[in-house]
Amino acid sequence: MSYFQVNDRCNGCLACVQNCPATALRAVDAEASRVLSHNMTRCARCGNCWRICPQEAIEFQFLLENRWDEVKTLDLVYCSVCGDPLYTADFGKTLSEKMDKTFKPVCSKHRDELPKIAGAHFLKGRTRKMEV
């Protein structure tokens, strides 16, 4: 989808092309057609074309709406102790491949505590056995 859109009200007057300070708009006449094109790399997003168009044909408003467009959704991996989100599953996979080992998902807060938690767990098991 192009970030710059022109709706059906455009009548090809060329006011936008002639008033674009960045030469980001062009019109090419070929045989029976006039083709209007926009180049996002050149565009300074100044909105001049949108303001100047007598037909209100340029759909540029959504670039000024300060909205967020979702571009990707990824699965998260959570800390196995507290459940805080750590990183994405794909990032963990990339790390494992690069380091040639697998990681236990533990946040920095619980990384040092994990051996203590594990120690306490084993100690509890031993105590229970001794009680029997």
Q: Which of 5, 45, 77, 105 binds ligand SF4 (CB under 6 A)?
A: 45
30 within 8 A of 40, measured Cβ to Cβ: no
Q: Give the integer Cα–Cα distance in Å for 113 and 107.
A: 10
26 contacts 34 by C-beta, under 8 angstroms: no
Give min distance, CB of 82 to ligand SF4, in A: 48
Residue with tokens 């203590």: 116
CB of 35 to ligand SF4, least distance (A): 11
Cβ pair 36, 4 in contact under 8 A: no
Q: Which of 3, 37, 47, 96 binds ligand SF4 (CB under 6 A)?
A: 47
Task: Name the strand (E) or helix (H) holding 128.
Answer: helix 113-131
* 3-state DSSP assignment of residue 79: coil
For ligand SF4, the binding residue among 3, 35, 37, 46 (CB under 6 A) is: 46
Residues 49-108 that bind ligand SF4 (CB under 6 A): 49, 53, 55, 57-58
**Minimum gap (Å) between residue 37 Cβ and ligand SF4:** 10
Q: Which residues bind to ligand SF4, rule: CB under 6 A? A: 6, 10-16, 20, 22, 24-25, 36, 38, 43-49, 53, 55, 57-58
